[in-house]
């Protein structure tokens, strides 16, 4: 056998649950087989589907694997070879996606760099804004937050708590104020105070898509009156633990707003991290950061290669 029991921890802790769900199944499959048979690819397909990678992406991976081994007899292909091919098929899904470092973009664009944060209620958007503000402040940027989710009083209150934790200024108005007006005030204040980065929170009432689309469009139009290039970035926040529902949220948001990047929350607490692979394949939108806990410092830059490597560690090969 070419797989061996690991004696030391070789994975990032935030991927443990996904690793246990995905990699342990792959490991067990390869471990109990000394050579391939006609059903082996079917077993891999089942594992990919059960890991929330998604039907389209799974079919794409399986078809490519079958094409590569079509000219060979199953029994002539070493287990190690298929293990490597599977990893390569997943790696290639990340290759063509441009994921320019956000800090570099902020540094070289005209100030302030405006980021509109979108996402449905409950995905951890407010918490993520606080974490991102803290993260960017630690990178020596001056950050300001605009509370344009005026639909819920709790949203403004929670955002104010996170802004205080990150020690960054927050611009807000009264409940049910015009969200675009808050964004306008935020950008005016940011310019006067020489702010580097502005994070604009928005409502997440996806069940009322028409109103939300109009609201986001209005916010964008009003901001352009002050900074024509804004928003420079539209980041969609997704809850990793929702699995296939995350796919649906990306589909819906990308129909009425130009999402430029993603942040995945709650990755440390889910076995559905395979959704990352499917989203990268189906939407070609870069993932900038992942949320890995409840603390303000629990935001981490996403590394696609490291993510895939965590599922196919070299130490598992003899």
Domain positions in the chain: 13-97, 102-308
Name residues whose C-beta falls within 8 Å of residue 207's C-beta, 6 or more positions apart in sequence: none
Looking at the structure, give the CATH architecture of the domain made up of residues 13-97.
Up-down Bundle (1.20)
Looking at residue 122, what is its pLDDT?
87
| CB contact set of 96 (below 8 Å; sequence gap of 6+) | 284
From residue 219, give the alpha-carbon distance in Å to each of 11, 153, 280, 293: 41, 19, 28, 30
- In this prediction, residue 187 carries a pLDDT of 98
pLDDT value of position 82:
81
Contact by Cβ (8 Å): 277, 57: yes
E strand or H helix at 112, and its extent? none
How far is residue 180's CA from residue 182's CA, in Å, rounded to a whole number? 5
Q: What is the pLDDT of residue 75?
A: 56
**DSSP bridge pairs for 65:** none
Q: Is the four-CA dihedral 258, 262, 266, 270 of positive or negative sign?
A: positive
CA 269/CA 51 separation, integer angstroms: 14
Beta-carbon contacts of 79 under 8 Å, excluding residues fewer than 6 positions away, are 1, 2, 30, 33, 34, 35, 36
Which of 121, 53, 142, 43 lies closest to 90, judged by CA?
A: 53
**Tell me, what's the pLDDT at 5?**
41
Q: What is the mean pLDDT of each run of 10 residues along the chain (318 residues)?
A: 39 60 72 70 87 89 86 64 85 78 88 95 93 96 96 91 97 94 98 97 78 88 95 94 85 88 81 79 91 88 83 58
Q: What share of the chain is helix, strand, coil (3-state, %, to 5)?
A: 55, 15, 35
Cα(236)–Cα(254) distance, integer angstroms: 9
Which SS3 state, helix, strand or coil, does residue 117 take?
strand
Question: Which SS3 state, helix, strand or coil, does residue 42 take?
Answer: helix
What pLDDT is attached to residue 140? Answer: 95
Nearest to 120 by CA among 46, 220, 212, 233: 212
pLDDT of residue 269: 61
Separation of alpha carbons 246 and 300, rounded Å: 19
Question: Which CATH architecture describes the domain 102-308?
Answer: 3-Layer(aba) Sandwich (3.40)
């Amino acid at each position: 056998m070419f797989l061996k029991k690991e004696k030391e921890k070789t994975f990032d802790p935030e991927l443990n649950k996904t690793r246990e769900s995905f990699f342990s199944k792959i490991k067990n499959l390869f471990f109990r087989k000394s050579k391939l048979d006609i059903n082996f690819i079917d077993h891999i397909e089942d594992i990919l589907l059960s890991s929330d990678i998604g039907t389209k992406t799974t079919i794409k991976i399986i078809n490519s694997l079958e094409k590569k081994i079509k000219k060979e007899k199953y029994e002539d292909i070493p287990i190690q070879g298929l293990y490597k091919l599977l990893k390569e098929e997943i790696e290639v899904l990340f290759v063509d996606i441009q994921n320019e470092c956000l800090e570099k973009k902020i540094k070289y664009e005209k100030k302030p760099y405006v980021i509109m944060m979108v996402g449905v209620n409950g995905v951890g958007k407010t918490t993520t804004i606080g974490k991102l503000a803290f993260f960017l402040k630690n990178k020596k940027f001056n950050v300001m937050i605009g509370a344009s989710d005026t639909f819920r009083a709790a949203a403004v209150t929670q955002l104010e708590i996170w802004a205080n934790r990150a020690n960054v200024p927050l611009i807000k108005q009264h409940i049910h104020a015009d969200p675009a007006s808050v964004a306008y005030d935020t950008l005016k204040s940011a310019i006067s105070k020489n702010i580097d980065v502005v994070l604009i929170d928005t409502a997440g009432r996806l069940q009322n898509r028409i109103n939300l689309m109009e609201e986001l469009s209005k916010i964008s139009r009003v901001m352009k009156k002050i900074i024509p290039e804004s928003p420079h970035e539209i980041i969609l926040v997704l809850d990793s633990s929702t699995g296939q529902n995350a796919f649906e949220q990306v589909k819906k948001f990308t129909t009425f707003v130009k999402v430029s990047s993603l942040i995945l929350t709650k990755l440390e607490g889910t076995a559905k991290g395979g959704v990352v692979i499917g989203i990268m394949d189906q939407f070609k939108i870069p993932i900038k950061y992942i949320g890995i806990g409840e603390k303000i410092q629990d935001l981490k830059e996403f590394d696609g290669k490291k993510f895939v490597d965590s599922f196919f560690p070299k130490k598992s090969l003899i």
